[in-house]
Structure 1
Amino acid sequence: MAPSLYLFLFLLIFNSGNRVASKSKVRSFPEGFLFGASTSAYQVEGGAFDDGKGLSIWDVTSHEKTSPIQDGSTGDVSANSYHFYKQDVEIMKDLGLDFYKFSISWPRILPDGFANNVNKAGIDYYNNLIDEMLNNSIKPFVTMYHWDLPQQLQKIGGWTNPYIADWFKDYASVLFENFGDRVKHWITINGPSEICYGGYGSDLLAPMLNMTGIADYACAKNVLLAHANAYHLYDEMFREHQNGTIGIALNFTWFEPTSDNPDDHQAARDARQFLFGQYAHPIFTKEGDFPEEFKRKIAGKSAEQSFKRSRLPELSATEVTAIRGSADFLGINSYTTKMVYRDASIEGMYPVPSYMDDMGVVIVKDSMWPQSQTDWLQEVPWGFYKMLREVNRLYDNPLVYITENGWSTAGGLLDEDRIRYLRNYLSALLDAIDAGCNVQGYSVWSMIDAFEWRDGYNAKFGLYEVDFSNEDRSRTPRKSAFIYKEIIKSKSLDPHYEPEVYLEEVPENEEKKDDYVYNK
Structure 2
Amino acid sequence: MFPRGFAWGAATAAYQIEGGWQADGRGPSIWDTFSHETGRVFGDQNGDVACKSYELWEEDLRSILQLGLTHYRLSVSWARLLPDGTTQHVNHKGVEYYNKVIDNLLTANVTPMVTLYHFDLPQALQDQGGWKSPNIAALFDSYARFCFQTFGDRVKLWITINEPYVCAKLGHEDGIHAPGLEEPGGRAAYLVGHNMLRAHALAWHSYDAFFRPKHEGLVSLAINSDWLEPLEPDCAEDVSATERHLAFTLGWFAWPVFVSGDYPEIMRAVIDANSKTHGFNSESRLPIFSKDEPPILGTADFFALNYYTSRKVTSGCGHSDILSMKSDRGAQEVLDPSWPISGVSWLAVVPHGLRRLLSYIKKNFSDPAIYITENGFAQVGSLEMEDVQRGKFYTETISEVAKAITEDGVNVRGYFAWSLMDNFEWADGYSVRFGLFHVDFSDEKRKRTMYRSGREYAKLILKYSTEHEGPHPNH
TM-score band w.r.t. shorter chain = over 0.9
Deviation track 1:329-378 (CA, whole Å, cap 9, x = no partner) reads: 111000100111014xx3x5256220001011111212331111112111
Q: Tell me which amino acid in the other structure corresponds to 1:289.
A: D
Q: Tell me which amino acid in the other structure corresponds to 2:165.
A: S
Secondary structure of 2:72's aligned partner:
strand
Within 5 Å, which residues of 2 pair with 1:338-377? 338-343=311-316, 346=317, 349-350=319-320, 352-377=322-347
Within 5 Å, which residues of 2 pair with 1:245-264? 245-259=218-232, 260-264=234-238
Partner of 1:86: 58
Match of 2:366 among 396, 403, 407: 396
Deviation track 1:251-296 (CA, whole Å, cap 9, x = no partner) reads: 01111111020100110111111111010000011x3210111100
Partner of 2:432: 459
Asked whether the 8 Å contact 1:412–1:465 carries over to 2, the reply is: no
- Following superposition, the deviation at residue 154 of structure 1 comes to 0.8
Partners of 2:314 and 2:441 lie apart in 1 by 42
Asked whether the 8 Å contact 1:427–1:493 carries over to 2, the reply is: no
Partners of 1:210 and 1:350 lie apart in 2 by 18
Partners of 1:211 and 1:87 lie apart in 2 by 41
More divergent stretch after superposition (429-438 vs 274-283): 429-438
Secondary structure of 1:230's aligned partner:
helix
Q: Tell me which amino acid in the other structure corresponds to 1:168.
A: F
Asked whether the 8 Å contact 1:487–1:493 carries over to 2, the reply is: no
More divergent stretch after superposition (310-319 vs 396-405): 310-319
Q: Does 1:428 align with 2:400?
A: yes
Asked whether the 8 Å contact 2:224–2:305 carries over to 1, the reply is: yes
Q: Tell me which amino acid in the other structure corresponds to 2:177.
A: L
Partner of 1:230: 203
- Following superposition, the deviation at residue 67 of structure 1 comes to 2.4
Partner of 2:44: 72
Partner of 1:416: 388
Within 5 Å, which residues of 2 pair with 1:14-93? 28-64=1-37, 66-93=38-65
Partner of 2:414: 441
- Following superposition, the deviation at residue 126 of structure 1 comes to 0.4
Partner of 1:507: none
- Following superposition, the deviation at residue 413 of structure 1 comes to 0.8
- Following superposition, the deviation at residue 464 of structure 1 comes to 0.3
Deviation track 1:389-409 (CA, whole Å, cap 9, x = no partner) reads: 110111011111000000001
- Following superposition, the deviation at residue 197 of structure 1 comes to 0.7
Unaligned runs of 5+ in 1: 1-27, 495-520
- Following superposition, the deviation at residue 186 of structure 1 comes to 0.6
Within 5 Å, which residues of 2 pair with 1:485-504? 485-491=458-464
Q: Tell me which amino acid in the other structure corresponds to 1:236.
A: A
Q: Tell me which amino acid in the other structure corresponds to 2:235.
A: N
Partner of 1:159: 131
Q: Does 1:137 align with 2:109?
A: yes
Q: In 2 relative to 1, CA 236–493 (structure 1 residues): closer, same or farther, beyond 3 Å? A: closer
Asked whether the 8 Å contact 2:163–2:224 carries over to 1, the reply is: yes
Match of 1:112 among 84, 88, 92: 84
Question: Alignment length, in residue pairs?
Answer: 461
- Following superposition, the deviation at residue 77 of structure 1 comes to 0.6
Q: Does 1:315 align with 2:289?
A: yes
Deviation track 1:199-257 (CA, whole Å, cap 9, x = no partner) reads: 11211211111213110000111000100111111111111111211111100111111
Q: Does 1:204 align with 2:169?
A: no
Q: Tell me which amino acid in the other structure corresponds to 2:418.
A: W
Within 5 Å, which residues of 2 pair with 1:477-488? 477-488=450-461
- Following superposition, the deviation at residue 31 of structure 1 comes to 2.3
Partners of 2:66 and 2:289 lie apart in 1 by 47
Partners of 1:263 and 1:492 lie apart in 2 by 45
Asked whether the 8 Å contact 2:46–2:424 carries over to 1, the reply is: yes
Match of 1:327 among 286, 291, 300: 300
Q: Which has the larger radius of gyration?
A: 1
Partner of 2:472: none
Partners of 2:274 and 2:392 lie apart in 1 by 43
Partners of 2:271 and 2:466 lie apart in 1 by 44
Secondary structure of 2:432's aligned partner:
coil
Partner of 1:195: 167
Asked whether the 8 Å contact 1:423–1:493 carries over to 2, the reply is: no
Partners of 1:265 and 1:382 lie apart in 2 by 19
Partners of 1:134 and 1:351 lie apart in 2 by 55
Asked whether the 8 Å contact 1:164–1:226 carries over to 2, the reply is: yes
Partners of 1:351 and 1:446 lie apart in 2 by 39
- Following superposition, the deviation at residue 162 of structure 1 comes to 0.9
Q: Tell me which amino acid in the other structure corresponds to 1:244.
A: G
